[in-house]
């Protein structure tokens, strides 16, 4: 199965936003092992938020490993694989944001990295899916409170 981000993207709950949506278009990805979309328009009520522009980008990039690693060779005496490499996937969103009055936008980075020991996708697919389901579920559940936490510095 191939990952495709379809437009519009429905945003998660945030205090002060009503039904946020993001119209996206395919964008030039930074590498052959990635896909990227750019936010071309906003929907719903998102007062103060902006779509992507040259000086204030709003993009999401999906990365897969450039080279997939394998688990390695078991120790002949005990069958244990000591050095298991990792395969890393990333979801990276960049959003221009103004840090102070009369300042140019700076790039805020929202980064989720998924590090899997090589071979786990084959031998433990249910465990990997459960971990992803929990991780994404927690992010969805805490989206609004995480937005507030980032804003006011509390946890």
pLDDT at res. 91: 96
Domain boundaries, the chain: 9-152
Model confidence band, residue 3 (pLDDT cutoffs 50, 70, 90): confident
Fill in the DSSP letter of residue 91: E
Q: Reply yes or no on whether the pLDDT at 48 is more than 80.
A: yes
Task: Report the range of poorest mean pLDDT among 46-55, 86-95, 145-154.
Answer: 145-154
Among all chains, which residue has been given the structure tokens 């899916």? Answer: 129
- Domain 9-152 in CATH 2.30.30? The answer is no
Distance CA 93, CA 81 (A): 35
Distance CA 60, CA 35 (A): 8
Q: What is the pTM of this model?
A: 0.89
pLDDT at res. 2: 85
Question: How much is the average pLDDT of 108-120?
Answer: 95
Question: How much is the average pLDDT of 66-88?
Answer: 92
């Amino acid at each position: 199965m191939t990952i495709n981000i379809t437009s519009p993207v429905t945003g998660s709950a945030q205090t002060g936003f009503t039904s946020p949506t993001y119209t996206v278009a395919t964008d030039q990805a930074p590498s052959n092992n990635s896909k990227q979309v750019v936010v071309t328009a906003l929907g719903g009520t998102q007062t103060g938020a902006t779509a992507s522009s040259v000086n204030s980008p709003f993009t999401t990039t999906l990365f897969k490993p450039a080279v997939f690693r394998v688990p390695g060779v078991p120790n002949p005496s005990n069958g244990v694989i000591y050095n298991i490499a990792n395969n890393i996937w990333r979801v990276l969103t960049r959003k221009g944001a103004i840090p102070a009055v009369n300042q140019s936008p700076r790039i805020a980075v929202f980064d989720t990295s998924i590090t899997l020991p090589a071979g786990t996708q084959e031998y433990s697919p249910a465990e990997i899916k459960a971990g992803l389901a929990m991780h994404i579920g927690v992010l969805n559940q805490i989206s609004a409170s995480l937005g507030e936490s980032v804003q006011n510095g509390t946890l």
